[in-house]
Amino acid sequence: MITKNKIAKIKKLHQKKFRDETGCFIVEGTKSVLEVLESELVIKDFLATENWKNRFLTPKKQLQKVEIVSEKELERISTLQTPQEVLIIVEKPRFTISELDNNLPILALDDIRDPGNLGTIIRTADWFGFSQIVCSLRTVEYTNPKAIQASMGSFIRAKIIYADLTEICTQMKGKRKIFGSFLSGTSSNKAKFSSNDMIIIGNESTGISPSLSSLIDESLYIAAAKSSKAESLNAAIATAILLYQFQLSQN
């Protein structure tokens, strides 16, 4: 039986303010939770139904202290419309710029505001081998429940850092080639990528901010069909196509 106090404490983590204060966030669903268990992330609380515990926790994993909850209780604390029998509270890992590997590429996100988009971007980056993601300070946090959900566990494998992107790019200028996604420039399929490039994706409606634009070595665009009347692509879609082209060039 979970205490009222604990329910209240966990529900607070639905809000950014309390995630910031505590440095903790919620992860739900069997797939993501099992992946967290295999990772180095620190689990602060582990809530599951009796059924889930018996089904998924092997003796080794049972070292984790699990609090048994009913499905009704889970419904009260879950961020999901359909709770999935398990919910954990995880400590947000802290990475610094100095921990970034100079030989690996970086995906930089300039003010991505939609958490679903951000989660999809993290999932896509994982697929295409981008494990280093630098987000501008106004990018939505990846610990937002919708971002965690959309990332399908990929947030666990990425070094995600929030920082002043203009500062970072100024530091990196000349050390890596910096590409940016725009509506004109070099066609994405003609880009010459190297293994440690940085690729910047801009905000869903305003694109890459002017202060960053001036630091970009090469602008890339994704050609539309001649007949197309669409004005733009979703930011996660644009990211996917550029990372796809990057990945093709690495073989």
Binding site for its own copies (CB under 8 A): 116, 120, 123-124, 126-129, 131, 150, 152-154, 157, 189, 222-234, 236-237, 240-241, 244, 247-248, 250-251
The crossing angle, in degrees rounded to 10, of helices 115-127 and 235-249 is 10
C-beta closer to its own copies: residue 206 or 250: 250
Q: How far apart are CA 190 and CA 187, in angstroms?
A: 5
Q: How far apart are CA 162 and CA 92, in angstroms?
A: 12
Q: How far is the CB of 21 from its own copies (least distance, A)?
A: 24
- In the numeric block, which tokens belong to residue 136? 């501008």
Nearest to 112 by CA among 100, 125, 103: 125
Q: Which residues of 55-81 are buried (b: 16+ CB within 10 A; e: fewer)?
A: eebeeeeeeeebeebeeebbeebbbee
C-beta closer to its own copies: residue 117 or 139: 117
C-beta closer to its own copies: residue 7 or 233: 233
C-beta closer to its own copies: residue 8 or 248: 248
C-beta closer to its own copies: residue 122 or 215: 122
Q: How far is the CB of 106 from its own copies (least distance, A)?
A: 14
Q: How far is the CB of 125 from its own copies (least distance, A)?
A: 9
Q: How far is the CB of 220 from its own copies (least distance, A)?
A: 13
In this structure, the number of other CB atoms found within 10 A of the CB of residue 50 comes to 12
Q: How far apart are CA 136 and CA 162, in angstroms?
A: 6
Q: How far apart are CA 122 and CA 149, in angstroms?
A: 11
Q: How far is the CB of 3 from its own copies (least distance, A)?
A: 33
